[in-house]
Structures are given as C-alpha cells and as structure tokens.
Structure 1
Amino acid sequence: MDLKPNPYSGHFKAIGLKTLLSKRRFIFVACASLLLLSITCFSTFLRYTESPTPPPPPVTETPEVVESVEKPTEVPVDPYGPKTVLKGDPTVSFRDNLLPNVNYITSWVSAGWTNDVMTYMNLIYLGLITDRVPVLPEFIPSHIGGHVPPIPFGEVFDVPRLRTELQKPVLEWWEVKQHGSGQFDDLGCWNIWQSVQYREPYPRPSRIPNDLKLDISYTQAPTWVKLIPDYEHDQHSLFSSLATLAFPTMREKSLVPPLPSPQHNVSLPPDEHMLCYDYLYYVCSHQPFELEYDYSPAWRYVGQFMHFTPKLEQLADEYVRRAFGLPSDAPVPAFISVHIRHYDFETWCGEVPIYDCFAPLPVINRRVQEARDEIYTRTGHVIKHVMVTSDERNATWWQEVAQLGWFTPDHSSTKDTYGDWYPVLIDAVIQSQGVGFVGTDRSTMSIIAAKRTESWQAGPTRLVLWGEPGADDH
C-alpha cells in the first residue's frame, strides 16, 4: 500500500532545525554564565579563607589606663572559730555577742594550775555531751601568788588546733566580752559545790566572775548530782547528772530559790543560754580521780587534744638544749623526763620523817631504768638522757641528781625574762616531751604528764609510790 505524502514535512524540518540551534545557544550561554559565577564565588571563598583577619572593631572611647592590682590572698575561714558561733568582735556585755540559736557553757577555777587544766578539760567535755560551746576563762595564779596577772588559756594551749581536732567550737572569754569591760552582767548559775561537800555552805569561791565582771546568782544543785550520797570524804559529781541540768525537763524539776547576786542583789535561775556551774574539778564518769585510768572520757575526748602552743614547745626545747650543753640549732636528743614533787607534799607525811616519807633517788633511778628497758624492748633505742623537774629546794638532793648524770632546766632567770607563769609552764612541756616518764604518785601534775607521754609519745610511764619507808618496793 502506498503511503500518502505529508504536505508539511519539509516545513517542519526547517522550523525544527532553527529552534534546535536557538536552544543550543541558550544552553551554552547559561552554562557559561553559571561557570563564571562559580569561579567568582570560589575565588571569593579562597580570598576570605586565606585571609582570616577579622573586620576592625567599632570605634569606642579610649579606655582609662588602670594599674594592675594584686588580688589579696583569701584567709581560709576557720569552720570552728569564733566567727561561726558569735555575732562578731568582743562586746561590752557578753550577751550582745551571743547568737540566739547557739547554746554556751562556762565555769570557774580555783585549785592550782594543773587542777585548773583538768577543770577546763571537764568543762569542755561537758560541753560536748550537752551540745554547747565551751567558753573558757583565764588561768588564775592560785599557786604562784595573787599579785601575778592571770594568763589566757590560749597562751598556754593551742586553741585553733584543739578546735580542729575536736571538730567543735571552743571559745575564750576575751573573744566574747571585751577585756577590761567595766559593765557587770547578771548571770544565773548552778551551785554544785554546796551539794557535794559539807564543810562550806556556799558556792565554790573564785576570783574569775569578778575579773569578768559577772554578777552571779547561784541556785544550789540537787543533792543527787553527788557520786557517793552522804559521803563526806569525796566531793565528786557525775558528768551525766550535771548534763541533765542543761536540758529543760530536769532543770525545771531541780529549781529552788536562788541566792541574790553580790553586786545587783538580783535572784536569777540558772541561765539557759549561757549555762554555768561554779566548779567542775570534782567530776567523773565512773569513779573519783579517774583521769589516770585508760577509760577516762575527759582525757580520751578532750585532754589528749589540748596541746601546748608552738611558742611554749620551742621555748622548752631551748631550755632542754641548754641543760644538755647543746647549740641552739642542734636537734633535741630523746630523753626520759622525771617529775619529783616534794615541797608542798610534806604536810601529807604526818609523823613520818621526810627522808623516810619521800622515795629516795635510788628508788626513782630504778623506775627510770624500767622505762629505759621498756623503750629498748619496744624500739631497740638506748635512751641516755634524763631530764628532772622538781620543786625540791635541798641543794644536797640536787647534787645527788647531778651525780646520777641527770639534767635539769635552769630557771634562775626564767621569771625575770618571761614572767612568773613560765617556770611551771616550761616544766610541764618538758615533762610531756620525754619518750618515757617517771613521776610522783598522787601528784596531778605527774598524772597528767604521764597521760601526755602515753598519748603523744607512746612512751612508758611510772608513778613512784611514797609516804613510808619501802612504799615503792616491788
């Protein structure tokens, strides 16, 4: 079959060719334009990446030239210091410095320096078990004469270290109330003394309230605080009994009419904010005079943390070096310390002659040798040096000490150089520095020195018995 010819075929061929050529020119121009744009953009990109210089900052005023100032060193805050439990610096009236949400506790001393140390130890421990902040007065010179000024607790013992080791606040009265303030503050306190002994029908006397300008109104404590009821030969009370008076329930049950105060003639019940007791030397947890026993809570939880100040320790080192004939920069050799108390114990000898009453030096030397032997057994060290402290005034006795090859601190100029307090303070530090200790039975100075030697030096201790011939035979 023949095909019929298309009358438009030649025309469409001509038109299609022209159109195609036009389209190809358009595509070529478009591609060229895109290529040129791409090259331009890429060149711009390279220019900015190769030259990262930021644009100039906006124009501002020229700043004032300021000299560099060194940032002050920040003083670490003592987490148990006075700033945490007081409003601020000491005030004229102690009440103005107390925080309303903090409770405090205080007491007074009047029994010789070592006994007063033990009294403050008991005060701090009572503060621990009643959740109160102890406020410690000064030491008064009851053993060296009333003409001598008191000495602050913190001049003898390292209070910041005590606070750190206890992890509890401990204050001194001068941190609470301005030293030398003339304003008498009224304060109600518990009278313990009249309830535990039967010779003095009044609170335990002390000069401290007057020194602190405190006008005290005393309330007699209940007789059940006494350790041994109706026993006249002991004056001890119990920590637990005294602690109950710090809480509302037992306090309210124990209130009786208070005595009027001496200055303002006011009668006040025992204060609940600043709890106070007249005398805390005769306090125990189980039995009288328990400090010498290993279980003593006052020693375990307080006493062993009452370290001497670094100043006192360095001073004692100087005295030991001079006694040993060593230069001032020489290390202090290990020694055994000895404390022999005679002078004020003579009245305890009664009708026994002094030379029979007190242990002779050969007996003391035997105890020293026991300490030497124990140290050698424990450590393998031979201790040659012995340092003797004593109140003995007999020159012949001291010559016999020298003949044994023992040494003693020279206090001939101590009072003139440092003051009346320092002979006993330096001796106390020396007694605690020995790697072993030999002391005098029934002397609280020896007893507490022995505790320090055991706790701080892990050293052996002995207390020499006396009172009659052969008392220390064993």
Structure 2
Amino acid sequence: MAALTLVALSFFAFHSAPTPLEIVSENIEPPRSDRLDALLGPPTQKFRDNLRNDTEYMTSWISAGWTNDVMTFGNLIYLAMITERVPIVGNFTPSHIGGDAGTIPFGEVFDMDYLSRTIGIPVLEWNEVKDPNSQEVEELGCWSVWQAVQTRESQPRFTNAFELEKLDISWTAGPLSLQKIPGFEHDPHAHFWSIAALTYPSVRERYLQEPIPSPVNHVSLPPDEHLACFDYLYYVCAHESFEYEHDLSPAWRFVAKHFRWTPRLQTMADGYLRRMFGVPEDGVIPPYISIHARRANDFAVYCGDVPRGDCFPTMNVYARRIADTQEELRARYGIVPEHVIMLSDEQDPAWWDAVRLMGWYTPDHVAEDTVNKYGRWYPLLVDAVIQSSGMGLLGTDRSTMSLLAGRRVEDWNGGVFKMVKWGTAHADDHRRAWIPDAI
C-alpha cells in the first residue's frame, strides 16, 4: 500500500474535486488531473513514442457485453494497481447494440479524472496514448490468459480492438497453473496474483515458451515488460469465482465502485428523470425505485419448456418486491419512494401497457429522440445512470447489468438492492418479507 502511495504521489498533486452529482451543468467540465503526466505528451503515431522510460504500464482488451466489459476493465485496473503499473483502457465496443453503432471511449462514459484521483494512480485511455487516426501497425508481445484457463478454444481470445489500435500481437500462452482449478472445464477463472506474478522477472522467465507469430508481420515476441499485456481478464478473482457477486470483491471495492458517470452523462440522465416525473428543470428529483427486467431472447432461451409468462416475474411479483423495498427504506431512512421506473429490453407492447397500468414510469427514448441526439449508445447509458441513481433497485437474477447497478445503488446512495428470481412461476416465492435487524 505504501508503494502504491509513492507511485500515486509521483503523478498527482491531489486536491478535492466535485463528484458527478455535484456538477449540474453540461457546460461545466471537471478540472484536468495530472494523470496525463504518466505520458510524454499528446497522442503519438506510435504508442511506444509516448511511454515514459521511468514508468511501467499494463493493458488488456474486452470481448463481451458492455457490463461484462466494465467489469473486465475493473479487473485490469486492479491488476495494474497491485503490480504498481499504469493501466491503459480501450474503447467500449458495441457487442449488444449493433456493430454499426461504433465504439465509444471509456472516458465518454466514466469520469477519468475522478477515477484516477480517487484510486490514487493514473488511468489512461488508448486514444490518449496513440493517435486514433494513426495507421502505424506496431508489434507487441503479450500473455494469453485465455489459452491457459479454458479447454474449449486453442487460440488467444480475439477482439477487433487489436485492429482498432493497429496492434500486431505475438502471444505467449500462460501456464496452465493460472487456472483457479487447473483442468476444470467449468470454471475458467484465474487469481489476480497468479497473473500478476507473470510481470515479475523471476516468475516471467520460468514460464516463457515459444510465442505464436503475430498475424501481420509474423514476428515472434516474448511478452513485453514495459507494457505488460493480457488477452482477456474477465474471469479473474481474488478468492471467489464471479467475485463481483460478493461483497469481498476487491475489483469492485477498490476500482469499479469509483467508475462514476461523467458530469455530462449524469446531467443528461437527470434531465430524463425530471421530464418523466414532471419536475421543473431546476427541481429536486424525488427518490425512486427502479426495476431492471431482462426479458430478451438471450435470457428467454434459459426458460426451456417453461412458458414465457411463467418463466419471468409478473407485475404482482414486482409489486410485492417494491412494497418490501419501500418498507426497508422507511425503516432505514424514514422515506417511502412512491415513484417506480421500469427499465427493460422487452419488445411486447402489451407488456408495456401492463407496466403503465401499474402507474410506473419508463424513459421514452423514441419521444426523446435519444439516438438521433446523442447516438446509438445513449439509450443504454441513460438507462444505466437511471438505475444507479435511485434509492432502490430490483434486478434480474443472473444479469451482470443488474448486479453492477445494484452495487452502485448500495454503495453510492446507501440504497436497497434485491435480485428477483425467475425461471419458473414461483421462482421468487422463496423470499421472506424484510425484517429489520433491530427493533
């Protein structure tokens, strides 16, 4: 920890700064931190020309849905923290919203300066290191964690980010001992320190083997020591597999908890909330409970032979859960949120009619013209901010988007987060009515 502090002080002159919720105008930007002092200057045609000789770096890439990618970047940054390196994150890719949506920078979603100041190390973006318009293809040697922790694929984990960043990568397969349970096909997790050890010379030399030639220039390079890099870091944990589900998760507690929305994005979502609730532009947004109901085909496929109407929670199930959440908030804070927002990927108009009959709200991205005003990413992003800004969240069990939204509600707002079970008609009936710990 002392070493991390020294690393941080070498880059930062720390000072307090407003949080996203304290900045109310889209035209006000937070002050620039000194995190870019971790680079030699503005983006260069070759990334190596912008890296400092007195600093070590780390990067990895994403290859899943947006929320899983957020978690992956959280893992990357935590891994960089414990190895005293500067993490470099890339753009989010549109795996769930259509490839034609294009990528979006991490820093357009999350406040980079706030994050760097809060966790105590600089966090960089690839577009700050290398000019996004550069056509220079650079060779780089990296470790493949993916080859070491699963048995279904023999190649490193692929992502088009390599092409976007013009990287020609030569991979070295990590040792099979990286896997949490070596050889167990049902759990591809590795421990943070098993991977971290590969960045230290004594361990690195022990596990070096013949690299795979790069696809463009066909060069064979050992893993780079200045810029340590790994193909895929979603399945990484300190103790428990799928660790973000547990309160002990260090990647959440020390990193991803501090992925605060940019002031612009928070202000944008606040505007949607005020218009939904009929609150004046400068009025106070009332406390509310949001529901994140995953119902699209990627979840419905797990219903099997159970009819859709029995598989997913009914309005009555949600109403019962809302009442429990209201009671818990009343006991905890003396408030009973009356406003409820439904956020869902459901396409059936009749289902949405039933939502409106319940008196619940939902953002209208068609009427708001969200896509034309801001882009294809923004319905998803506005919904995510709305989920995180309430006093309660009812999530969909097994949804990582619900999971992270609930973590934000709990840790940012001191709110209540519950997962709603699904899969059969009575899947959620196991729950007990909430009882205070102390009367």
TM (normalized to structure 1)? 0.82
Matched, 1:466 2:430: no
Between 1:425-434 and 1:401-410, the stretch displaced more is 401-410
Give the paired residue count: 398
| Residue among 378, 384, 409 paired with 2:332 | 378
CA-to-partner distance for each residue in 1:227-270, whole Å, 9 max, x for gaps?
A: 12211112111111001011111110011100000111000011
CA-to-partner distance for each residue in 1:406-465, whole Å, 9 max, x for gaps?
A: 100011121121110000000000000001111100000000000000110001110001
Matched, 1:393 2:361: no
Query: In structure 2, the residue corresponding to 1:321 is in which secondary structure?
Result: helix
Paired residue type of 1:365: A
Aligned partner of 2:22 in structure 1 is: none
| Residue among 264, 268, 276 paired with 1:311 | 264
Aligned residues of 2:151 and 2:183 also touching (Cα < 8 A):
no
Aligned partner of 2:130 in structure 1 is: 177
Aligned partner of 2:399 in structure 1 is: 443
Aligned residues of 2:36 and 2:124 also touching (Cα < 8 A):
yes
**d(CA) in 1 for partners of 2:364, 2:31:** 41
| Residue among 369, 372, 380 paired with 1:424 | 380
Superposed displacement of residue 356, structure 1 = 1.4
> Which stretches in structure 2 are left out of the alignment for 5+ residues?
1-29, 431-439
Between 1:191-200 and 1:207-216, the stretch displaced more is 191-200
Matched, 1:351 2:324: no
Aligned partner of 2:158 in structure 1 is: 205
Query: In structure 2, the residue corresponding to 1:462 is in which secondary structure?
Result: strand
Matched, 1:406 2:388: no
Superposed displacement of residue 77, structure 1 = 7.6
**Aligned Cα RMSD in Å?**
1.2
Matches within 5 A, 1:46-85: 78-79=33-34, 81-83=35-37, 85=38
Aligned residues of 1:292 and 1:451 also touching (Cα < 8 A):
no
Identical positions, percent: 52
Paired residue type of 2:355: V
**Rg (Cα) greater in structure:** 1
| Residue among 258, 262, 285 paired with 2:211 | 258
Matches within 5 A, 1:137-286: 137-286=90-239
Query: In structure 2, the residue corresponding to 1:190 is in which secondary structure?
Result: strand
Aligned residues of 2:86 and 2:122 also touching (Cα < 8 A):
yes
**d(CA) in 2 for partners of 1:385, 1:158:** 28
Query: In structure 2, the residue corresponding to 1:147 is in which secondary structure?
Result: helix
TM (normalized to structure 2)? 0.89
Matches within 5 A, 1:13-24: none
CA-to-partner distance for each residue in 1:59-102, whole Å, 9 max, x for gaps?
A: xxxxxxxxxxxxxxxx98834x112x111111111001111110
Superposed displacement of residue 327, structure 1 = 2.9
Aligned residues of 1:193 and 1:279 also touching (Cα < 8 A):
yes
Aligned residues of 1:356 and 1:467 also touching (Cα < 8 A):
yes
| Cα 1:442–1:77 shift into 2, 3 Å | closer
Matches within 5 A, 1:4-15: none
| Cα 1:407–1:166 shift into 2, 3 Å | same
Query: In structure 2, the residue corresponding to 1:365 is in which secondary structure?
Result: helix
**d(CA) in 2 for partners of 1:398, 1:165:** 40
**d(CA) in 2 for partners of 1:301, 1:197:** 27
**Higher relative contact order (CA closer than 8 Å, sequence separation 6+):** 2
**d(CA) in 2 for partners of 1:121, 1:361:** 34
CA-to-partner distance for each residue in 1:198-218, whole Å, 9 max, x for gaps?
A: 111101110001100010000
| Cα 1:182–1:432 shift into 2, 3 Å | same
Query: In structure 1, the residue corresponding to 2:407 is in which secondary structure?
Result: helix
Matched, 1:333 2:290: no
Aligned partner of 1:454 in structure 2 is: 410
Paired residue type of 2:56: N
Query: In structure 1, the residue corresponding to 2:169 is in which secondary structure?
Result: strand
| Cα 1:301–1:376 shift into 2, 3 Å | same
Paired residue type of 2:285: V
Query: In structure 1, the residue corresponding to 2:99 is in which secondary structure?
Result: coil
Paired residue type of 2:404: I
**d(CA) in 2 for partners of 1:103, 1:329:** 46
**d(CA) in 1 for partners of 2:245, 2:325:** 18
Aligned residues of 2:276 and 2:361 also touching (Cα < 8 A):
yes
Superposed displacement of residue 328, structure 1 = 2.4
**d(CA) in 2 for partners of 1:337, 1:364:** 10
**d(CA) in 2 for partners of 1:211, 1:178:** 11
Paired residue type of 1:263: V
